[in-house]
Amino acid sequence: MDALKIVASVLLLIASIMIIVLVLMQNSKQSGLSALNASADSYFSKNKSRTLSAKIVSLTRIFVIVFFVLTIALNLFVAHLK
């Protein structure tokens, strides 16, 4: 049972690092000077779901879900051992 706790802890650490990396890779939602552009309906904005940025956002969501599931499972596991 102790090996399961170690594996879950390592997976939690990997998920934490991946969340940090993916959040740092995401583009800022603030428009800044690019708001001066009048081209709001560009090809890029119509195909946002296929871009690398959209894939990074979806990967971030997946790792956040994995992080929360592992955290809850690890806490329940530790509480069950006591």
**Cα dihedral sign, 66-72-75-81:** negative
Residue 36 maps to a domain: no
Amino acid type, 44: F
Per the structure, the complete domain to which residue 62 belongs is given by 1-22+48-82
Q: Is 15 exposed, middle or buried (0-12, 13-18, 19+ CB in 10 A)?
A: buried
Position 37 scores a pLDDT of 56
What is the pLDDT, as a whole number, of residue 39? Answer: 53
In a domain, 9, yes or no: yes
| Alpha-helical regions (H) of 1-82 | 2-25, 43-46, 52-81
Query: How would you write the pLDDT of the chain (82 residues) with one tens digit per residue?
Result: 688 888 989 999 999 999 999 999 987 766 555 555 555 556 655 666 678 888 999 999 999 999 999 999 999 988 887 7
Q: Residue 41 domain-assigned? A: no
- Asked if the structure places residue 82 within a domain, the reply is yes
Residue 29, domain member (yes or no)? no
In a domain, 68, yes or no: yes
Q: Which amino acid is at 18?
A: M
Q: How many domains does the chain have?
A: 1
